[in-house]
Copies of this chain bind each other. A is one copy, B any other.
Amino acid sequence: MWRTTFLHDRLDRNAAGGVLFWLISRRLPQVEKRHGVAAMTIVFVAFANYFAMALGQGDIFFNGRTVYFARYTDWVITTPILLASLAMFAGNTLSRIATLLAALIAADVYMIVTGLVGNLSSAPYNYYWWIISMVAFLVVLGLIWGPLRQRASEDGQMAPFSKLASMLTALWVCYPIVWLVGSSGAELISVTVESWLYLVLDVTAKVGFGFVALSAARQGQS
């Protein structure tokens, strides 16, 4: 079973990540604790979803195919937090960027939910949903590199913002590609390879991103 190796590895990293983030958070100045809360929440949500997948409780058999819906319940909660984490670097007073953050999260949730519906659909409908999800993804990227970036530069936060936004963009663009070649799309790669790809992406996009955000926050730059 790929599950055993794959998911135990994932669970261990997650648990380790969570504890580490907690230790780092303790040493953050009061106002930066929110970055610690974000990073820890992400890790523990992922933990529960991977635990469910490891126990075989996070997938359903649908349209003649196994759909790992726990992946989407993970993403739909963690990606808005990641975006909020990024937005917190673009403006210290959350209220100033509240509209922007609302738009970002609306587009993001839209992207994940339409991606899930696509995964629950058989061909060719799944591709229609992929296109709709991609449009939402482009809106997310457009908001990050347009108005959010402008706010960050006004606030003199360009250095940490650019680093995090580039990292986020580079990682996130891989997801729709894996989706397209994986079991949700053209099935060009095996489920095992697909799961490993998502594993590497998830660890980097969650734990890696968390470290970079926390270290930027500790430098008092956020």
Interface residues of A (CB under 8 A from B): 33-34, 37, 41, 44-45, 48, 51-52, 55, 57, 94-95, 98-99, 102-103, 106, 110, 113-114, 117, 120-121, 125, 128, 132, 136
Contacts of A98 in B (CB 8 A): 34, 94
Q: Which 9 A-B pairs have the closest CB atoms?
A: A34-B99, A37-B103, A41-B106, A33-B99, A55-B125, A48-B114, A37-B99, A37-B102, A44-B110
- With CB as the reference atom, state the residue of chain B lying closest to A70: B117
Minimum C-beta distance from A55 to chain B (A): 6
- With CB as the reference atom, state the residue of chain B lying closest to A120: B57
Cβ-defined contact, B52 with A117, below 8 A: yes
Minimum C-beta distance from A3 to chain B (A): 14
Distance in angstroms between the alpha carbons of A106 and B48 in the assembled complex = 13
| Residue of B48, B103, B117, B125 touching A132 (CB-CB under 8 A) | B48
Cβ-defined contact, B37 with A121, below 8 A: no
Cβ-defined contact, A121 with B41, below 8 A: no
- With CB as the reference atom, state the residue of chain B lying closest to A121: B57
Q: Which of A34, A94, A136 has the most CB of B within 10 A?
A: A34
Contacts of A136 in B (CB 8 A): 44
- With CB as the reference atom, state the residue of chain B lying closest to A102: B37
Quick one: given A48-B132, A114-B48, A132-B48, are A106 and B55 in contact (CB under 8 Å)? no
Cβ-defined contact, B37 with A106, below 8 A: yes
